[in-house]
Every structure is written in structure tokens, then in C-alpha cells.
Structure 1
Amino acid sequence: MSRDPGESMVAGPNTLTIVRVFNAPRELVFAAWTDPDRLAAWWGPAELHTPRESVSIDPRVGGEWSATMVMDDGSAEFPSAGTFSRFEPPSGFEMREEATDMFPFANTMTVSLDEVENGTRMTIVQHFATESFDFGDSIVGWGSSLEKLRALMTG
């Protein structure tokens, strides 16, 4: 699988920045985040899936977003939910996720989509409301989730 040399995943003390380039128009990449059918097709790392019926997206500022990742063997579920604080199709959005019992770290995720030659550069910045955060599992999870997104964009 060929990677653009401009792709990266960099973790700081409380911020993870991911850059990926897709050979797809940014409208399609934006729809992969904001259309429930498309999000369910790629959201979640390897060994997890996101049932379509668990995905709800109200695509507007103040609108809510939720999805539940499920282990493929059914042994655990991982719900996530947020509220859009910025929503600007097709250039991106910002969403705030509150802390939950399962994931006690509030965070803000900004997704920016820029047109580049032959495709779209996607930049995700996930900032946690804590002094530091262990991004080990997040890096692995985002990596395999984004491979699913890449397959969806090229499929």
C-alpha cells in the first residue's frame, strides 16, 4: 500500500495529530465522516466493527454524533458521543467528546480536509483536557481505523 510522504501521526503530551492523504475528493472524505452508513463501514480499529444502528449524526453546529464500536467476538462495546462545535462542509468540523465512565477523558477533535493534487489531505487533531495522555492504544486504533477508511475511499 503506497503512502504519501506527507502522512504522519505525532503524539505530544496531550494532543495527537494525524495526517493522511486519500486519492478521493474531499466531499467523499467528508461524507465518510458524516454519513451514518459510510461511518459505520470504517469506524473502529481492527477486531472491532460499528453496527449501523449504533450510528447517529446530526450534521450541524450543536448537533450530536454517536457511534458504538463492538468487539468482533461480541465481548465488549465502546460507545462514543460528541457535539459538533464547528461544521463546515466539505472542509471539516470540530467535535467535543465529554468524559464517560468507560473513557474518562474529555477531548476535542478537529478534522480538516484540504484539496491537494489528486485527492484530499485530512488532518485530525485530537486534544485531551489533561496534562498528559498515553496515546499508545489510540495510535494503534487510529492507524487501523484509517486503513479501513483508505480501503473505503479506494473501493
Structure 2
Amino acid sequence: MADLRLEREFPVGPEQLFAWVSDGTKLLQWWGPEGLHVPEHDLDFSRTGAWFSVMENGEGQRFKVSGHVTHVDAPKSVGFTWAWHDENDKRGDESHVTFTVEATDNGARLVLDHRELGDDEISASHEGGWTSSLRKLEAALA
């Protein structure tokens, strides 16, 4: 199973960064790769339970992902399951994501762990998507 780990530092405190990775209103401002918007969702990582989002590109292609928030330890970490849906809305293989927030001398660091991605090709695809999404978060917090 391929795993992915990305780290980014932000010029905000841990509590503020945690809000950006857990509060649905703030999540929507950076969720999904650049060029996609989120017309449908139940994004709220501030509590355990089910979540989903539908991302749509400029051509109208839709990409649904869903899961279950498995833990919330504010303002340190949130974990959730992740699985893409196919064109018939059938949920695929499940992987696991954890956002960990750590204090730094200049603000806070976000560690994104996405585990059990299946293989290197799937991991590389997710790395591109998460990297693009994190650019949006960096812009929002600049």
C-alpha cells in the first residue's frame, strides 16, 4: 500500500490553522484542486461522522469522494476515511487521511498523511490533488 505525506508551514497559530482544516466554511475555500469547485458537500471535520464532497471542473465533470470522520483532537489533529465514487455512485477502495497541526516558531505546520492508497500511481495522483489544494490554502492564509 502506498502512503503519502505532505508538510506545509503557515504564518498563523495552531488554533487558526486547525479551524481552516476542520470547519466546513473554511474548508470550502481551499478544498479540491485548483480549477474545481464544490457544488455539493457535507464537509465538517469538527465532529465525527459521515462527510462527502462533489468536486466539479469547468467541463461539468463531477468527482465524488466520501468518508467518515474517525477522530477530532482539536487543535491537534483530525482523521477521516476517504473513498472515491464511480459514475454509478458506488464507493471504491477506502484510504485514510490525517491532518496534524503542530506549533512552529513562526506559526504552525500542517502534516497531511494519506495512507493505504493502493499503489504508487494512485499515490502520485493524490499528491498532485493535495498539493494543488494546499496551494489554495497557502493563498488563503498568506
**Which stretches in structure 2 are left out of the alignment for 5+ residues?**
none
Aligned to 1:43: 31
The one-letter code of the counterpart of 2:51 is W
CA contact (8 A) 2:41 2:51 kept: no
Structure 2 counterparts to residues 32-111 of structure 1, below 5 A: 32-51=20-39, 53-57=40-44, 59-61=46-48, 63-71=49-57, 73-98=58-83, 100-101=85-86, 104-111=92-99
Deviation at 1:59, TM superposition (A): 2.6
Aligned to 1:122: 110
Q: Secondary structure at the match of 2:79?
A: strand
Structure 2 counterparts to residues 11-26 of structure 1, below 5 A: 14-26=2-14
Task: Give the direction of change, closer, same or farther, for the CA distance of 1:57–1:18 in structure 2 (3 Å limit).
Answer: same
Deviation at 1:76, TM superposition (A): 0.8
Which structure has more relative contact order (CA 8 Å, sep 6+)? It is 2
CA contact (8 A) 1:81 1:98 kept: yes
Q: What is the RMSD computed on CA atoms of the aligned residues? A: 2.0
Identity percentage of aligned residues: 26
Size of the alignment, in residue pairs?
A: 138
